[in-house]
Protein backbone atom coordinates (compact mmCIF):
# COMPACT_ATOMS: atom_id res chain seq x y z
CA UNK A 1 0.00 0.00 0.00
CA UNK A 2 1.30 3.45 -0.96
CA UNK A 3 0.54 6.35 1.38
CA UNK A 4 1.36 10.05 1.35
CA UNK A 5 3.22 11.35 4.41
CA UNK A 6 1.33 14.00 6.35
CA UNK A 7 3.31 15.75 9.07
CA UNK A 8 1.47 16.15 12.38
CA UNK A 9 2.68 19.26 14.21
CA UNK A 10 2.99 17.59 17.60
CA UNK A 11 5.79 15.83 19.42
CA UNK A 12 5.09 12.36 20.80
CA UNK A 13 6.59 10.41 23.68
CA UNK A 14 6.68 7.24 21.56
CA UNK A 15 8.50 8.16 18.36
CA UNK A 16 7.41 4.94 16.67
CA UNK A 17 3.77 6.05 16.62
CA UNK A 18 2.17 6.79 13.25
CA UNK A 19 -1.47 7.46 12.40
CA UNK A 20 -3.57 5.62 9.80
CA UNK A 21 -7.08 6.32 8.66
CA UNK A 22 -9.40 3.56 9.91
CA UNK A 23 -10.18 2.48 6.31
CA UNK A 24 -6.50 1.95 5.49
CA UNK A 25 -5.99 0.12 8.78
CA UNK A 26 -8.84 -2.23 7.85
CA UNK A 27 -7.27 -2.91 4.44
CA UNK A 28 -4.02 -3.85 6.18
CA UNK A 29 -5.99 -5.89 8.75
CA UNK A 30 -4.24 -4.04 11.56
CA UNK A 31 -5.49 -2.68 14.89
CA UNK A 32 -4.20 0.17 17.05
CA UNK A 33 -0.92 -0.78 18.74
CA UNK A 34 0.11 -3.21 16.00
CA UNK A 35 3.06 -2.78 13.61
CA UNK A 36 3.59 -1.78 10.02
CA UNK A 37 6.78 -1.62 7.97
CA UNK A 38 7.35 1.76 6.28
CA UNK A 39 9.75 1.74 3.33
CA UNK A 40 11.17 4.10 0.77
CA UNK A 41 8.82 4.12 -2.21
CA UNK A 42 11.77 3.17 -4.44
CA UNK A 43 12.79 0.18 -2.31
CA UNK A 44 11.25 -3.22 -3.02
CA UNK A 45 13.32 -5.07 -0.42
CA UNK A 46 13.24 -4.87 3.36
CA UNK A 47 16.73 -3.48 3.84
CA UNK A 48 18.20 -0.70 5.96
CA UNK A 49 15.80 1.80 4.36
CA UNK A 50 12.79 0.99 6.49
CA UNK A 51 11.00 2.11 9.63
CA UNK A 52 8.74 0.21 12.00
CA UNK A 53 5.61 2.14 12.92
CA UNK A 54 3.22 1.48 15.80
CA UNK A 55 -0.29 2.26 14.59
CA UNK A 56 -2.69 4.83 15.98
CA UNK A 57 -6.03 4.99 14.16
CA UNK A 58 -7.99 8.09 13.15
CA UNK A 59 -11.75 7.93 12.48
CA UNK A 60 -11.76 11.49 11.21
CA UNK A 61 -10.83 12.15 7.57
CA UNK A 62 -10.03 15.74 8.57
CA UNK A 63 -7.16 14.54 10.73
CA UNK A 64 -5.84 11.72 8.53
CA UNK A 65 -7.63 10.97 5.28
CA UNK A 66 -7.55 7.64 3.42
CA UNK A 67 -4.26 7.36 1.56
CA UNK A 68 -2.33 9.38 4.16
CA UNK A 69 0.17 8.33 6.82
CA UNK A 70 0.31 10.70 9.78
CA UNK A 71 3.85 11.13 11.13
CA UNK A 72 4.62 13.28 14.20
CA UNK A 73 7.07 16.15 13.76
CA UNK A 74 9.84 14.72 15.98
CA UNK A 75 9.41 11.24 14.49
CA UNK A 76 9.81 12.58 10.96
CA UNK A 77 13.24 14.00 11.86
CA UNK A 78 14.40 10.55 12.99
CA UNK A 79 13.23 8.70 9.89
CA UNK A 80 16.50 9.30 8.07
CA UNK A 81 16.20 9.01 4.32
CA UNK A 82 12.42 8.60 4.61
CA UNK A 83 12.11 12.17 5.87
CA UNK A 84 12.42 13.59 2.37
CA UNK A 85 9.88 11.21 0.86
CA UNK A 86 6.44 12.55 0.10
CA UNK A 87 5.12 9.04 -0.43
CA UNK A 88 6.04 5.71 1.19
CA UNK A 89 5.14 2.06 0.90
CA UNK A 90 3.64 0.30 3.95
CA UNK A 91 2.95 -3.35 4.68
CA UNK A 92 1.88 -5.36 7.74
CA UNK A 93 4.60 -6.44 10.20
CA UNK A 94 4.48 -9.14 12.84
CA UNK A 95 6.11 -9.06 16.29
CA UNK A 96 9.77 -10.18 16.11
CA UNK A 97 11.06 -13.36 17.74
CA UNK A 98 12.72 -11.22 20.41
CA UNK A 99 9.31 -10.54 21.92
CA UNK A 100 9.15 -14.22 22.92
CA UNK A 101 12.47 -13.79 24.71
CA UNK A 102 11.11 -10.78 26.59
CA UNK A 103 8.21 -12.95 27.71
CA UNK A 104 10.73 -15.48 29.05
CA UNK A 105 12.34 -12.79 31.22
CA UNK A 106 8.93 -11.62 32.48
CA UNK A 107 8.31 -15.21 33.58
CA UNK A 108 11.62 -15.27 35.44
CA UNK A 109 13.61 -17.42 33.03
CA UNK A 110 17.27 -16.80 32.22
CA UNK A 111 18.11 -15.61 28.71
CA UNK A 112 20.77 -17.05 26.41
CA UNK A 113 23.41 -14.86 24.77
CA UNK A 114 21.77 -15.07 21.34
CA UNK A 115 18.38 -14.16 22.82
CA UNK A 116 19.81 -11.04 24.46
CA UNK A 117 21.53 -10.17 21.17
CA UNK A 118 18.17 -10.38 19.38
CA UNK A 119 16.47 -8.11 21.93
CA UNK A 120 19.22 -5.49 21.58
CA UNK A 121 19.36 -5.68 17.77
CA UNK A 122 15.58 -5.39 17.47
CA UNK A 123 15.42 -2.47 19.90
CA UNK A 124 17.93 -0.53 17.77
CA UNK A 125 16.14 -1.48 14.55
CA UNK A 126 12.85 -0.20 15.97
CA UNK A 127 11.18 -3.62 15.79
CA UNK A 128 10.26 -3.51 19.50
CA UNK A 129 7.68 -1.07 20.84
CA UNK A 130 8.13 0.88 24.06
CA UNK A 131 5.49 -1.30 25.69
CA UNK A 132 7.53 -4.40 24.88
CA UNK A 133 10.74 -2.77 26.11
CA UNK A 134 8.88 -1.72 29.27
CA UNK A 135 8.01 -5.39 29.79
CA UNK A 136 11.67 -6.33 29.44
CA UNK A 137 12.78 -3.67 31.93
CA UNK A 138 10.04 -4.69 34.38
CA UNK A 139 11.03 -8.35 34.04
CA UNK A 140 14.66 -7.49 34.83
CA UNK A 141 13.55 -5.33 37.79
CA UNK A 142 11.52 -8.18 39.28
CA UNK A 143 13.72 -11.17 38.51
CA UNK A 144 17.16 -9.62 38.11
CA UNK A 145 19.86 -10.86 35.75
CA UNK A 146 22.60 -13.41 36.26
CA UNK A 147 26.23 -12.44 35.81
CA UNK A 148 26.28 -14.31 32.51
CA UNK A 149 23.22 -12.36 31.30
CA UNK A 150 24.77 -9.02 32.32
CA UNK A 151 28.00 -9.86 30.47
CA UNK A 152 26.02 -10.72 27.32
CA UNK A 153 23.95 -7.54 27.62
CA UNK A 154 27.05 -5.37 28.12
CA UNK A 155 28.73 -6.73 25.01
CA UNK A 156 25.54 -6.57 22.92
CA UNK A 157 24.98 -2.92 23.87
CA UNK A 158 28.61 -2.10 23.07
CA UNK A 159 28.31 -3.69 19.62
CA UNK A 160 25.18 -1.64 18.85
CA UNK A 161 27.20 1.53 18.17
CA UNK A 162 30.59 3.08 17.49
CA UNK A 163 33.78 2.20 19.35
CA UNK A 164 36.96 4.22 19.89
CA UNK A 165 40.45 3.01 20.82
CA UNK A 166 42.97 5.23 22.60
CA UNK A 167 45.42 2.49 23.53
CA UNK A 168 45.91 -0.12 26.29
CA UNK A 169 45.80 2.28 29.26
CA UNK A 170 42.69 4.45 29.24
CA UNK A 171 41.12 5.66 32.50
CA UNK A 172 37.75 7.00 33.60
CA UNK A 173 35.63 7.88 36.58
CA UNK A 174 31.88 7.34 36.83
CA UNK A 175 29.30 8.12 39.50
CA UNK A 176 25.93 6.48 40.13
CA UNK A 177 24.65 9.92 41.22
CA UNK A 178 22.27 11.18 43.85
CA UNK A 179 24.28 14.08 45.34
CA UNK A 180 23.63 17.71 44.32
CA UNK A 181 26.68 19.82 43.52
CA UNK A 182 28.77 16.79 42.56
CA UNK A 183 31.10 18.61 40.14
CA UNK A 184 34.11 16.43 41.03
CA UNK A 185 34.78 15.31 37.43
CA UNK A 186 35.76 18.89 36.57
CA UNK A 187 38.57 18.52 39.13
CA UNK A 188 39.44 14.82 38.66
CA UNK A 189 39.95 14.87 34.87
CA UNK A 190 42.58 17.65 34.80
CA UNK A 191 44.41 16.14 37.80
CA UNK A 192 44.64 12.70 36.19
CA UNK A 193 45.52 14.12 32.76
CA UNK A 194 48.19 16.39 34.29
CA UNK A 195 49.82 13.26 35.72
CA UNK A 196 50.18 11.88 32.18
CA UNK A 197 47.27 9.41 32.06
CA UNK A 198 44.69 9.24 29.25
CA UNK A 199 41.19 10.11 30.49
CA UNK A 200 38.59 10.79 27.76
CA UNK A 201 35.64 11.72 29.98
CA UNK A 202 32.19 11.31 28.47
CA UNK A 203 29.52 12.72 30.75
CA UNK A 204 25.76 12.93 30.96
CA UNK A 205 23.42 15.83 31.17
CA UNK A 206 21.35 16.01 34.34
CA UNK A 207 18.42 13.60 34.60
CA UNK A 208 17.28 13.92 38.21
CA UNK A 209 19.90 16.37 39.55
CA UNK A 210 20.25 20.16 39.04
CA UNK A 211 23.37 19.76 36.89
CA UNK A 212 25.30 16.99 35.18
CA UNK A 213 29.01 17.22 34.42
CA UNK A 214 28.22 18.01 30.77
CA UNK A 215 25.86 20.83 31.82
CA UNK A 216 28.52 22.46 34.00
CA UNK A 217 31.35 21.97 31.50
CA UNK A 218 29.21 23.55 28.78
CA UNK A 219 29.39 26.81 30.72
CA UNK A 220 33.14 26.79 30.06
CA UNK A 221 33.29 25.22 26.57
CA UNK A 222 31.26 23.29 23.98
CA UNK A 223 30.73 19.61 24.85
CA UNK A 224 29.08 18.13 21.74
CA UNK A 225 31.48 16.64 19.20
CA UNK A 226 31.48 13.88 16.55
CA UNK A 227 33.74 10.90 17.18
CA UNK A 228 36.43 12.08 14.73
CA UNK A 229 36.81 15.34 16.62
CA UNK A 230 36.96 13.47 19.94
CA UNK A 231 39.82 11.35 18.56
CA UNK A 232 41.66 14.52 17.55
CA UNK A 233 41.15 16.19 20.95
CA UNK A 234 42.25 13.20 23.01
CA UNK A 235 45.12 12.52 20.64
CA UNK A 236 46.52 15.99 21.37
CA UNK A 237 45.95 16.44 25.12
CA UNK A 238 45.09 12.93 26.45
CA UNK A 239 41.75 14.14 27.83
CA UNK A 240 38.38 15.73 27.23
CA UNK A 241 35.16 16.48 29.11
CA UNK A 242 32.32 16.00 26.64
CA UNK A 243 28.66 15.03 26.40
CA UNK A 244 28.34 11.33 25.57
CA UNK A 245 24.89 11.85 24.05
CA UNK A 246 26.40 13.47 20.96
CA UNK A 247 28.21 10.22 20.11
CA UNK A 248 26.75 7.04 18.67
CA UNK A 249 27.94 4.93 21.60
CA UNK A 250 25.74 2.04 22.77
CA UNK A 251 22.51 3.44 21.22
CA UNK A 252 20.64 0.38 22.50
CA UNK A 253 21.36 1.53 26.04
CA UNK A 254 20.03 5.02 25.27
CA UNK A 255 16.80 3.45 24.01
CA UNK A 256 16.40 1.44 27.23
CA UNK A 257 17.18 4.51 29.38
CA UNK A 258 14.44 6.52 27.62
CA UNK A 259 11.95 3.83 28.68
CA UNK A 260 13.39 3.46 32.20
CA UNK A 261 13.00 7.15 33.10
CA UNK A 262 9.19 7.39 33.13
CA UNK A 263 9.00 3.97 34.81
CA UNK A 264 11.40 5.23 37.56
CA UNK A 265 13.21 1.89 37.32
CA UNK A 266 16.98 1.42 37.21
CA UNK A 267 17.66 -2.23 38.11
CA UNK A 268 21.19 -3.47 38.67
CA UNK A 269 20.82 -5.87 35.75
CA UNK A 270 20.52 -2.90 33.38
CA UNK A 271 22.56 -0.29 35.28
CA UNK A 272 25.80 -2.28 35.29
CA UNK A 273 25.73 -3.13 31.53
CA UNK A 274 24.74 0.49 30.81
CA UNK A 275 27.84 1.88 32.53
CA UNK A 276 30.26 -0.71 31.19
CA UNK A 277 28.99 -0.73 27.58
CA UNK A 278 29.64 3.00 27.22
CA UNK A 279 33.04 2.76 28.87
CA UNK A 280 34.01 -0.08 26.51
CA UNK A 281 32.82 2.00 23.55
CA UNK A 282 35.20 4.77 24.66
CA UNK A 283 38.10 2.33 24.96
CA UNK A 284 38.30 2.57 28.77
CA UNK A 285 40.41 -0.12 30.43
CA UNK A 286 40.46 1.08 34.07
CA UNK A 287 37.73 2.85 36.01
CA UNK A 288 36.95 4.12 39.48
CA UNK A 289 33.24 3.96 40.28
CA UNK A 290 31.91 6.52 42.76
CA UNK A 291 29.01 5.04 44.75
CA UNK A 292 27.31 7.76 46.84
CA UNK A 293 25.63 6.05 49.78
CA UNK A 294 22.79 7.40 51.90
CA UNK A 295 19.29 8.81 51.85
CA UNK A 296 18.09 9.82 48.39
CA UNK A 297 20.70 7.78 46.50
CA UNK A 298 20.47 4.42 44.75
CA UNK A 299 22.21 2.84 47.75
CA UNK A 300 20.53 3.82 51.04
CA UNK A 301 22.99 1.79 53.16
CA UNK A 302 26.67 0.90 53.06
CA UNK A 303 25.75 -2.78 52.67
CA UNK A 304 23.69 -1.95 49.56
CA UNK A 305 26.68 -0.15 48.08
CA UNK A 306 29.08 -2.99 48.89
CA UNK A 307 26.84 -5.59 47.27
CA UNK A 308 26.58 -3.55 44.08
CA UNK A 309 30.33 -2.87 44.04
CA UNK A 310 31.20 -6.57 44.24
CA UNK A 311 28.89 -7.48 41.36
CA UNK A 312 30.09 -4.50 39.30
CA UNK A 313 33.75 -5.49 39.73
CA UNK A 314 33.00 -9.08 38.68
CA UNK A 315 31.16 -8.06 35.49
CA UNK A 316 33.76 -5.40 34.65
CA UNK A 317 36.59 -7.93 34.92
CA UNK A 318 34.78 -10.36 32.61
CA UNK A 319 34.36 -7.74 29.88
CA UNK A 320 37.95 -6.49 30.12
CA UNK A 321 37.79 -3.51 32.48
CA UNK A 322 39.67 -3.22 35.78
CA UNK A 323 37.37 -1.51 38.27
CA UNK A 324 37.73 -0.10 41.75
CA UNK A 325 34.70 1.19 43.65
CA UNK A 326 34.56 3.91 46.29
CA UNK A 327 31.61 4.26 48.66
CA UNK A 328 31.23 8.00 49.33
CA UNK A 329 29.19 10.15 51.70
CA UNK A 330 25.97 11.56 50.27
CA UNK A 331 24.37 13.28 53.26
CA UNK A 332 24.78 16.81 51.86
CA UNK A 333 25.96 18.59 48.67
CA UNK A 334 29.56 18.44 47.49
CA UNK A 335 30.81 22.00 47.79
CA UNK A 336 28.45 24.94 48.26
CA UNK A 337 27.16 25.74 44.79
CA UNK A 338 24.32 23.99 42.94
CA UNK A 339 23.50 24.55 39.24
CA UNK A 340 25.53 24.52 35.99
CA UNK A 341 27.11 28.00 36.10
CA UNK A 342 27.58 28.04 39.87
CA UNK A 343 29.23 24.59 39.83
CA UNK A 344 31.53 25.57 36.95
CA UNK A 345 32.44 28.70 38.90
CA UNK A 346 33.21 26.73 42.09
CA UNK A 347 35.31 24.14 40.22
CA UNK A 348 37.28 26.80 38.35
CA UNK A 349 37.87 28.72 41.59
CA UNK A 350 39.36 25.63 43.25
CA UNK A 351 41.52 24.77 40.23
CA UNK A 352 42.97 28.30 40.30
CA UNK A 353 43.43 28.47 44.09
CA UNK A 354 43.63 25.37 46.30
CA UNK A 355 43.14 27.46 49.45
CA UNK A 356 39.72 28.61 48.19
CA UNK A 357 38.28 25.13 48.87
CA UNK A 358 35.71 23.98 49.71
CA UNK A 359 37.07 21.05 51.68
CA UNK A 360 34.35 18.55 50.66
CA UNK A 361 35.13 19.16 46.97
CA UNK A 362 38.87 18.89 47.56
CA UNK A 363 38.66 15.67 49.56
CA UNK A 364 36.24 13.82 47.27
CA UNK A 365 37.96 14.90 44.06
CA UNK A 366 41.49 14.10 45.20
CA UNK A 367 40.44 10.81 46.83
CA UNK A 368 38.90 9.51 43.60
CA UNK A 369 41.67 10.96 41.43
CA UNK A 370 44.19 9.33 43.77
CA UNK A 371 42.70 5.90 43.15
CA UNK A 372 43.13 6.39 39.39
CA UNK A 373 46.73 7.58 39.88
CA UNK A 374 47.46 4.40 41.85
CA UNK A 375 45.77 2.23 39.20
CA UNK A 376 47.89 3.96 36.57
CA UNK A 377 51.15 3.35 38.40
CA UNK A 378 51.74 7.04 39.12
CA UNK A 379 51.62 6.48 42.88
CA UNK A 380 52.03 3.60 45.30
CA UNK A 381 48.90 2.28 46.98
CA UNK A 382 47.85 4.68 49.70
CA UNK A 383 49.83 7.59 48.22
CA UNK A 384 47.54 8.55 45.35
CA UNK A 385 45.45 10.93 47.46
CA UNK A 386 48.52 12.96 48.44
CA UNK A 387 49.81 13.06 44.86
CA UNK A 388 46.44 14.26 43.60
CA UNK A 389 46.45 17.07 46.17
CA UNK A 390 50.01 17.98 45.18
CA UNK A 391 49.04 18.24 41.50
CA UNK A 392 45.99 20.35 42.40
CA UNK A 393 48.01 22.67 44.68
CA UNK A 394 50.78 23.11 42.11
CA UNK A 395 48.46 24.60 39.49
CA UNK A 396 49.23 21.81 36.97
CA UNK A 397 45.58 20.66 37.05
CA UNK A 398 44.45 24.22 36.29
CA UNK A 399 46.85 24.45 33.34
CA UNK A 400 45.50 21.14 32.00
CA UNK A 401 41.92 22.39 32.44
CA UNK A 402 42.81 25.49 30.41
CA UNK A 403 44.06 23.18 27.65
CA UNK A 404 40.81 21.21 27.73
CA UNK A 405 38.68 24.37 27.63
CA UNK A 406 40.70 25.83 24.75
CA UNK A 407 40.76 22.74 22.54
CA UNK A 408 37.00 22.30 23.03
CA UNK A 409 36.40 25.86 21.83
CA UNK A 410 36.07 27.82 25.08
CA UNK A 411 37.99 30.73 26.56
CA UNK A 412 40.91 29.26 28.56
CA UNK A 413 41.47 32.54 30.40
CA UNK A 414 37.93 32.89 31.71
CA UNK A 415 37.82 33.97 35.36
CA UNK A 416 35.26 32.68 37.89
CA UNK A 417 33.88 36.22 38.34
CA UNK A 418 33.16 36.38 34.59
CA UNK A 419 30.74 33.44 34.72
CA UNK A 420 27.27 34.96 34.53
CA UNK A 421 24.55 34.06 37.03
CA UNK A 422 20.80 34.54 36.79
CA UNK A 423 19.69 38.20 36.82
CA UNK A 424 17.05 37.48 39.49
CA UNK A 425 18.28 36.53 42.93
CA UNK A 426 16.99 36.20 46.48
CA UNK A 427 18.91 35.78 49.73
CA UNK A 428 17.35 33.55 52.39
CA UNK A 429 18.30 34.39 55.98
CA UNK A 430 18.05 32.33 59.15
CA UNK A 431 15.17 33.14 61.51
CA UNK A 432 17.13 31.86 64.51
CA UNK A 433 20.59 30.97 65.73
CA UNK A 434 21.83 27.40 66.01
CA UNK A 435 23.92 24.61 64.55
CA UNK A 436 23.11 23.08 61.18
CA UNK A 437 22.22 19.48 62.00
CA UNK A 438 21.07 18.34 58.57
CA UNK A 439 20.89 19.36 54.90
CA UNK A 440 18.03 17.90 52.84
CA UNK A 441 19.32 17.05 49.36
CA UNK A 442 15.78 16.36 48.13
CA UNK A 443 14.58 19.88 48.92
CA UNK A 444 17.75 21.36 47.39
CA UNK A 445 17.10 19.49 44.15
CA UNK A 446 13.45 20.57 44.12
CA UNK A 447 14.26 24.26 44.67
CA UNK A 448 17.09 24.20 42.10
CA UNK A 449 14.88 22.64 39.43
CA UNK A 450 12.13 25.15 40.16
CA UNK A 451 14.68 27.93 39.66
CA UNK A 452 15.31 26.52 36.17
CA UNK A 453 18.12 23.96 36.52
CA UNK A 454 19.56 22.31 34.52
CA UNK A 455 18.10 23.89 31.35
CA UNK A 456 18.83 27.40 32.59
CA UNK A 457 22.61 27.38 33.02
CA UNK A 458 22.58 30.55 35.15
CA UNK A 459 20.07 29.29 37.75
CA UNK A 460 20.87 27.57 41.05
CA UNK A 461 21.67 27.90 44.75
CA UNK A 462 24.72 29.20 46.60
CA UNK A 463 24.74 27.66 50.10
CA UNK A 464 26.53 29.62 52.82
CA UNK A 465 27.10 26.91 55.46
CA UNK A 466 26.45 23.18 55.69
CA UNK A 467 26.12 20.47 58.34
CA UNK A 468 28.04 21.19 61.54
CA UNK A 469 28.28 24.91 60.87
CA UNK A 470 27.03 27.51 63.35
CA UNK A 471 24.56 30.06 62.03
CA UNK A 472 23.41 33.29 63.67
CA UNK A 473 19.93 34.78 63.49
CA UNK A 474 19.68 36.96 60.37
CA UNK A 475 22.75 35.35 58.74
CA UNK A 476 22.47 34.25 55.11
CA UNK A 477 21.57 30.57 54.68
CA UNK A 478 21.75 30.53 50.89
CA UNK A 479 21.11 32.62 47.78
CA UNK A 480 18.81 31.60 44.92
CA UNK A 481 19.50 32.62 41.30
CA UNK A 482 17.16 32.33 38.34
CA UNK A 483 16.68 33.54 34.78
CA UNK A 484 13.01 34.18 35.57
CA UNK A 485 11.36 36.26 38.26
CA UNK A 486 8.35 33.94 38.20
CA UNK A 487 10.54 30.85 38.78
CA UNK A 488 12.27 32.63 41.64
CA UNK A 489 8.92 33.33 43.29
CA UNK A 490 7.86 29.69 42.91
CA UNK A 491 11.14 28.50 44.42
CA UNK A 492 10.69 30.83 47.39
CA UNK A 493 7.19 29.43 47.86
CA UNK A 494 8.61 25.89 47.99
CA UNK A 495 11.15 27.06 50.57
CA UNK A 496 8.36 28.48 52.74
CA UNK A 497 6.20 25.38 52.38
CA UNK A 498 8.95 22.87 53.18
CA UNK A 499 10.82 24.85 55.81
CA UNK A 500 13.89 24.78 53.57
CA UNK A 501 16.80 22.38 53.09
CA UNK A 502 18.91 23.69 56.00
CA UNK A 503 17.80 22.15 59.31
CA UNK A 504 18.89 23.90 62.50
CA UNK A 505 19.10 22.55 66.02
CA UNK A 506 21.14 22.63 69.20
CA UNK A 507 24.02 20.24 69.85
CA UNK A 508 21.77 18.23 72.23
CA UNK A 509 19.79 15.68 70.19
CA UNK A 510 17.36 14.68 72.94
CA UNK A 511 16.97 15.12 76.69
CA UNK A 512 15.96 12.02 78.64
Averages of pLDDT over each 10 residues, the chain, 512 residues: 90 82 95 87 56 90 93 78 73 89 97 97 86 94 97 97 94 91 95 98 83 95 96 96 90 88 88 96 97 89 96 98 95 93 98 95 97 97 97 98 98 97 96 90 94 96 92 95 97 93 72 64
Third-level CATH fold of 2-93: Barwin-like endoglucanases (2.40.40)
What amino acid positions are annotated as catalytic residues? Answer: 266
Ramachandran region, residue 377 (left: φ > 0; alpha: ψ -120 to 50; beta: rest): left
pTM: 0.88
Domain spanning 171-245+273-407: CATH 3.40.1030.10: yes
- Sequence-distant (6+) residues with CB within 8 A of 167 are 198, 283
- Sequence-distant (6+) residues with CB within 8 A of 194 are 391, 396, 397, 399, 400
- Sequence-distant (6+) residues with CB within 8 A of 93 are 35, 36, 37, 52, 127
Show me where the domains of the chain are located: 2-93, 98-144, 171-245+273-407, 424-505
Domain spanning 98-144: CATH 1.20.970.10: yes
Alpha-carbon distances of 439 from 331, 332, 443, 503, rounded to whole Å = 7, 6, 9, 6
**HEC string for 113-173:** HHHHHHHHHHHHHCCCCHHHHHHHHHHHHHHCCCHHHHHHHHHHHHHCCCCCCCCCCEEEE
Alpha-carbon distances of 158 from 180, 194, 230, 285, rounded to whole Å = 29, 29, 18, 14
Summarised one tens digit per residue, pLDDT across range 396-446 is 999 999 999 999 999 999 999 999 999 999 999 999 999 998 899 999 999
Q: What is the DSSP letter of 299?
A: B
- Four-way CATH pick for 424-505: 3.40.50.1820, 3.90.1170.30, 3.40.50.12780, 3.40.50.620: 3.90.1170.30
Amino acid sequence: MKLKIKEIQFETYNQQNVVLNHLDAAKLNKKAGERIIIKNIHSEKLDEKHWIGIIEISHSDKIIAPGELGVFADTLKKMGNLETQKEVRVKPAEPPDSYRFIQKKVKGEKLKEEEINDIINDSVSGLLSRIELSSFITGVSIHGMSNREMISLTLAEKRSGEELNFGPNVFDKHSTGGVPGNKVSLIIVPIVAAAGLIIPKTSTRAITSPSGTADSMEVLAPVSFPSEKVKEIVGKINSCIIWGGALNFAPADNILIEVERPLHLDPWGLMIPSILAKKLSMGVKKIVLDLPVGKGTKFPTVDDGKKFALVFKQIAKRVGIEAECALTLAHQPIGHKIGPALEAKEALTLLRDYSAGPNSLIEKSTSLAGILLEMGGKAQKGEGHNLAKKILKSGKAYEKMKEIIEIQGGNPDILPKEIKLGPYSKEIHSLKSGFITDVDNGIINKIAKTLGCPFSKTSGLDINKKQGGKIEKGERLFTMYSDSEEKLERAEKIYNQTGGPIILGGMVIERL
